[in-house]
Amino acid sequence: MTDIPQPLSKAPRVRPASLWSVGAALIATVVMAPILAVIWIAFNPTDNIWPHLISTTLPRYLGTTAVLMGAVGILAGMVGTGAAWIIARYRFPLSGWLEWLLLLPLAIPAYVGAYALVDLMEYAGPVQTALRSVFGWQSAREYWFPEIRSLGAAVIVLAAALYPYVYLLARAAFREQSGATEEVAMSLGAGAFERFRRVGLPLARPAIAAGMAVVMMETVNDFGTVDYFAVQTLTTGIFSVWLESNNAGGAAQIACVVLVMVILLVTLEKASRRKSRFFNLSNRHRANDRVWLQGGAGWLALVACFIPFFMGFLLPAGVILSHALQNAERWADPGLLQSLMNTLMVGGIAAFVTVLAGVFMVYGVRLSGRPLPRLLLPLTTIGYAAPGAVLGVGILIPLAALDNGLADMVEAVTGVDIGLILTGSAFALILAYAVRFFAIAQGAADAAMGRVSPSLPMAARSLGRSRGQVLRQVYFPLIRGSVGSALLLVFVDCVKELPATLLLRPFNFNTLATRVHDQASLENLGDAAPAAVLVIMVGLAAVGLLARASR
């Protein structure tokens, strides 16, 4: 009996790595490299001052940062949630306008609001001057006035600037709730406040928690506000230890503490929502009808929604605009024009590079079919959570070492000193912007490509189109709107970014944000106002796009 030969088992087919998958992995490495560099520098400092930090300044930095984060998060959560509930459930005078006006504080960086508040409320400002004139007071010893440059003022300014993050998410959550839940609660005798507390608020808790987490991360990232109010946080500690004490290792160690706080915050926010799952059990979902508020109740709702808009946008914009009009000759300052050109250059290049890299990476991950690139994709969003000061530490120190090594090598070979190419130009700044805001571009590209039917690229491939041609001829026309929106959003965030810009800008290089900070730090709000107005105008473009997308 002859043995029948058995068919050879096929070895598992190994798909060769393509240019797209390799490029996607390279982009992910570049985005995550600054965070890894911060950790490495922190554990390998040239001069270890960690014990000194623990015994002196670190507890104060940590405590102040925790208090500031908690207070801003709670206040912004209360304001944003309350405004969202009123707008989503009721109609009253000007409610249609206020629905979008409540988003406008996003156009004004918090540090601009800080400069405006101090200018308005300080001893020589119009408020205290008017009080002394009315009551005949001669000096500050004759009356009490709250300290403006304080932790409490910083909390108010930051909450007024950041509450729209909570408002936007909470408003969407309240609108998505079924009208049947409201009717059941009303039939059980629940009043308006009880329906909010026991029905609306629990159902919207995941969205509110996500908004408050974003607010607290933005609070950790802030430098301009806390520096102007003389509030010592971990971010100001990074600047102090690095620039004043000239200790990069100590700055990296403080930056690691910031990273740990951000990671804990994100983890807690996700854990709080893990068991919160709400579903519509009927396919006849009906939205809530907005109730008209008559008489005093309507005017009270109007005032409640107008106050956040006034504090977050109208007051700072009015103060800054008045200074800009009173100092009209400052608009012709060559320094302002140069700052504008620098901002357009670095912001435009960074936005283009960031969105291009985001589209390339998402497309490369989709083509690779490998598990590793898919695991790396969500990790690239960590740059958005990392404060700009942390990225500054992780980018500047390795780049400076690479730059010096490159210059020494070229000089040894050619005898020509080329100087510092990477850190002596805007390269480091553009890289920081790209890492910081890569999550925006990546998220927009991933969502847009996810809406494209898989049959379209498959049909193009069957007709002989290459992968690059499929991206250009099939995907790009369909995702062009999302890509354009991502370009604008990344550009606007680059314009407003302050901590990373202060750390990484070349010598004698100003953007609009750093010009505002430099002039305001010298108590010269007249020179800072034109640049601040330009920053606000750019921010308004992004808010308009956001309002259009959230209709």
Picking from 370-379, 474-483, 502-511, which range would have the lowest pLDDT averaged per residue? Answer: 370-379
Residue 19 and residue 123: Cα distance in Å, rounded? 63
pLDDT band at 277 (very low <50, low <70, confident <90, very high): low
pLDDT band at 551 (very low <50, low <70, confident <90, very high): low
- Give the mean pLDDT of 355-363: 90
User: Among 32, 68, 282, which Cα is nearest to 157's?
Assistant: 68
- Give the mean pLDDT of 254-279: 75
pLDDT score recorded for residue 158: 96
* Partner residues linked to 91 by β-bridges: 292
pLDDT band at 445 (very low <50, low <70, confident <90, very high): confident
Architecture of domain 327-551 in this structure: Orthogonal Bundle (1.10)
| 512 and 535 Cβ atoms separated by less than 8 Å | yes
Share of the chain above pLDDT 70, in %: 89
| 489 and 355 Cβ atoms separated by less than 8 Å | no
Most confident residue range from 63-72, 127-136, 233-242, 517-526: 63-72
pLDDT band at 287 (very low <50, low <70, confident <90, very high): low
pLDDT score recorded for residue 16: 52
For 467-478, b where at least 16 C-beta lie within 10 A, e where not — what string? Answer: beebbeebbeee
**DSSP-based three-state secondary structure for 18:** coil
Residue 390 and residue 393: Cα distance in Å, rounded? 5
For 194-233, b where at least 16 C-beta lie within 10 A, e where not — what string? Answer: ebbeebbbebbbbbbbbbbbbbbbbbbbbbbbbbbbebbb
Mean pLDDT of the chain: 84
The pair of three-digit structure tokens given for residue 418, joined into one six-digit string? 């080329």
Domain boundaries, the chain: 47-96+106-276+290-324, 327-551
H or E element that contains 373: helix 371-379
pLDDT score recorded for residue 29: 86
H or E element that contains 259: helix 248-274
**DSSP-based three-state secondary structure for 178:** strand
CATH number of 47-96+106-276+290-324: 1.10.3720.10
**DSSP-based three-state secondary structure for 289:** coil
User: What pLDDT digit, counting tens, does each position of 312-343 carry?
Assistant: 999 999 999 999 999 888 898 899 999 999 99
- Give the mean pLDDT of 227-249: 88
pLDDT score recorded for residue 181: 66
pLDDT score recorded for residue 17: 54
**DSSP-based three-state secondary structure for 91:** strand
pLDDT band at 9 (very low <50, low <70, confident <90, very high): very low
Residue 45 and residue 55: Cα distance in Å, rounded? 18
pLDDT score recorded for residue 1: 43
pLDDT score recorded for residue 14: 46
pLDDT score recorded for residue 61: 93
User: Among 261, 258, 233, 254, which Cα is nearest to 110's?
Assistant: 233
pLDDT score recorded for residue 140: 82
pLDDT band at 2 (very low <50, low <70, confident <90, very high): very low
pLDDT of 157 higher than 80? yes
pLDDT score recorded for residue 47: 80
The pair of three-digit structure tokens given for residue 207, joined into one six-digit string? 């969205």
Residue 518 and residue 548: Cα distance in Å, rounded? 34
pLDDT score recorded for residue 89: 87
- 246 residue type, one letter: N
pLDDT of 491 higher than 80? yes
Neighbours of 303 (CB within 10 A): 11
Helix 427-436 × helix 388-414 angle, to 10°? 140
Share of the chain above pLDDT 90, in %: 34
- Residues 6 or more apart whose CB falls under 8 angstroms from that of 256 comprise 38, 39, 42
User: What pLDDT digit, counting tens, does each position of 413-423 carry?
Assistant: 887 877 778 88
pLDDT score recorded for residue 341: 94
Most confident residue range from 41-50, 76-85, 322-331: 76-85
pLDDT score recorded for residue 163: 95
Residue with tokens 């369909």: 478
pLDDT score recorded for residue 102: 93
pLDDT band at 345 (very low <50, low <70, confident <90, very high): very high
Domains 47-96+106-276+290-324 and 327-551 share a fold: yes
- Residues 6 or more apart whose CB falls under 8 angstroms from that of 238 comprise 251, 254, 255, 258, 389, 390, 392, 393
